[in-house]
Structure 1
Amino acid sequence: MSDWTAADLPSFAGRTVIVTGANSGLGEVTARELARVGAKVILAVRNTAKGDAAAARMTGDVEVRKLDLADLASVREFAAGVDGVDVLVNNAGIMAVPYALTVDGFESQIGTNHLGHFALTNLLLPKITDRVVTVSSTMHWIGYISLRDLNWKSRPYFAWPAYGQSKLANLLFTSELQRRLDAAGSSVRALAAHPGYSATNLQGHTGNPIGARLSAAGNRLLATDADYGARQTLYAVAQDLPGDSFVGPRFAMRGPTARVGRSPLARSAKTATALWELSEQLTDTKFAL
């Protein structure tokens, strides 16, 4: 299946999928394609007006619900309103933004990209029947998890290393979630995917004019489109893959969709467990199976 595309998606009739950040970019394509093949898709978005506009561009059974991953109260409210779900796609994210804090006082990138999704997954886990797919990045290779200063309170803040930390956290979360699912005897699977380098509006919100211009040039010269990037997520959603698989382009940014490798730091079971325990403390959520 090395030439797999979204055209190869099986029917998702009768299944419910939640996609975070589904109002644009990779999330919108992911939601659109799953709705096209019959899934009931819940677009979990911070801006419901943009979510409604995205839903209007889709065919099938789509519903827009508010979810702000940078606010744990919003995460709890969203999760309480879900009766059941087959697949959760943790897609939403911010990238290389200036230093800011979430509602709960977390550094915004680790708070949105990891801790918000961590809490959402744990709160929904008893209602999930199939799998959790979390979108990471090749930038996890530059990431380092500081368990003593996860929220950049005592070290100088740098936007790209903070992004790398959050994307590394996505992979460690996936590995530890799968370990816990296996220990609980659950058939639910945890998987991760990365899009390669796809041109989306994510690159336009760094708050750095020079960085924005470089990103725009990179998008024109190097990037694939959002359909290609979302293909990696859709493959992880639809294919029969082992738990803790990491899916992406075979050649980092381009090439056929395949299971791919991860950095040595992303393979540390000790760090994965420690990060999970710290995340439980910060979000006041726990593995619920």
Structure 2
Amino acid sequence: MTDWTPADMPDLEGTTVVVTGANSGLGLEGTRAFARKGATVVMACRSVDRGERAAAEVRESSSADSDLDVRECDLASLDSVRSFAEGLAADYDAVDVLCNNAGVMAIPRSETEDGFETQFGVNHLGHFALTGRLFDLLLAADGVDGTARVVTQSSGAHEQGEMDFDDLNWEKSYGKWKAYGRSKLANLLFAYELQRRIDAAGDLGVRSVACHPGYTDTNLQLRTARESGNPLLKVGMRLANAVLGQDAAVGAEPMLYAATADADGGAYVEPGGFMNMRGHPTVGRSNDASYDRADARRLWEYSVEATGVTFPFREGDDETVEAVDDA
């Protein structure tokens, strides 16, 4: 087990960090840690009211004068993502760190405002669109150590995910846990493909890093149980969180490490303890499917078409991207 903790984070005075899902769980603990180190934290939340309550909690628990900016960003709406990005570009010159953290888990099938299956639409497509729309601000940043960071939160559940490009939105059949696993695999395919395309485009000063929090006691599991309508699952989730789950502050450490420590582009940061499900962060490796270059390119192309968002750099052709990956 490693011994890195948020106390090892550098001074973040003068940096701007965007955290999606910042009002609870991992996002809230990440926000708290970034703010303690002096960063301006833009709290991208679906509910501004919940975001403001969370910001008040952070300010009350911190001795520092936390610079928190709560803004609406509903990842289930591409219009909301666009409005958020446009508002940020109007008010900020740069974004040093983007934490793609928000997510939904194992919910009954539903669709986003734009007609995508919700887990795939929120966990992957919403963050894909957000990253593309904020990329100019990332390019303009000095970064934490000279490079801006895009940190994408995945899950150990990616190992149960399978890409089916004939039914990405689960219109033919639906399994809520399978859909969650696919969305988390998509997070990794995106994070690694983004780094390959950055490398192919040249020295952009932006780094893409993936992470997962391990088994962490957050309201994500409780929301899953609540929406299932199964009282036994509610009891089971509460018991599992109490017995197996680590504190959310520890669960946020891989994201914080990926955002501020010396992690290479394309790295996968995970807990370094028991079965990589708890403990302080270390750099590990996700499953083989997450490094499938053909699936990554296909997902990228689909995501551009589905969201209408492109990235503002010359991405290179597939042969260039593949050559960089093999180097």
TM range (shorter): over 0.9
Contact preservation (8 Å) 2:21, 2:102: yes
C-alpha distance in structure 1 between counterparts of 2:161 and 2:234, whole Å: 21
Deviation at 1:232, TM superposition (A): 1.0
SS of corresponding position for 1:265? helix
Contact preservation (8 Å) 2:253, 2:280: no
Alignment of 1:41-80 (within 5 A): 41-59=41-59, 60-80=66-86
For residue 25 of structure 2, what is the aligned residue in structure 1? 25
Q: How many residues align?
A: 288
Asked if residue 259 in structure 1 is aligned to residue 283 in structure 2, the reply is yes
Alignment of 1:128-207 (within 5 A): 128=138, 129=141, 130-154=148-172, 156-185=173-202, 186-206=204-224, 207=227
Identity of aligned residues (%): 49
C-alpha distance in structure 1 between counterparts of 2:110 and 2:300, whole Å: 23
Paired residue type of 2:252: A
C-alpha distance in structure 2 between counterparts of 1:2 and 1:267, whole Å: 25
For residue 324 of structure 2, what is the aligned residue in structure 1? none
Task: Structure 1: state its 5+ residue gaps.
Answer: none
For residue 38 of structure 2, what is the aligned residue in structure 1? 38
SS of corresponding position for 1:133? strand
Task: Structure 2: state its 5+ residue gaps.
Answer: 60-65, 142-147, 314-327
C-alpha distance in structure 1 between counterparts of 2:252 and 2:278, whole Å: 13
Which entry has the higher C-alpha Rg, 1 or 2? Answer: 2
Which deviations, in whole Å up to 9, do the C-alpha atoms of 1:60-94 show, x marking residues without a partner? 10010000000000000000111321110000000
Q: Of residues 270, 273, 288 in structure 2, which corresponds to 1:248? A: 270
Instruction: Tell which deviates more after alignment, 83-92 or 65-74.
Output: 83-92
C-alpha distance in structure 2 between counterparts of 1:249 and 1:170, whole Å: 18
C-alpha distance in structure 2 between counterparts of 1:212 and 1:202, whole Å: 12
Asked if residue 85 in structure 1 is aligned to residue 109 in structure 2, the reply is no
Paired residue type of 2:197: R
SS of corresponding position for 2:88? coil
Which deviations, in whole Å up to 9, do the C-alpha atoms of 1:80-137 show, x marking residues without a partner? 1113211100000000001000000000000000000000000111111301001000
For residue 236 of structure 2, what is the aligned residue in structure 1? 214
Paired residue type of 1:170: N
For residue 287 of structure 1, what is the aligned residue in structure 2? 311
SS of corresponding position for 2:242? helix
C-alpha distance in structure 2 between counterparts of 1:62 and 1:224, whole Å: 26
Structure 1 length-normalised TM: 0.97
For residue 224 of structure 1, what is the aligned residue in structure 2? 246
Higher strand proportion (structure 1 or 2): 1
> RMSD between aligned alpha carbons?
1.1
Paired residue type of 1:4: W
Deviation at 1:213, TM superposition (A): 2.5
Q: Of residues 95, 98, 103 in structure 1, which corresponds to 2:108? A: 98
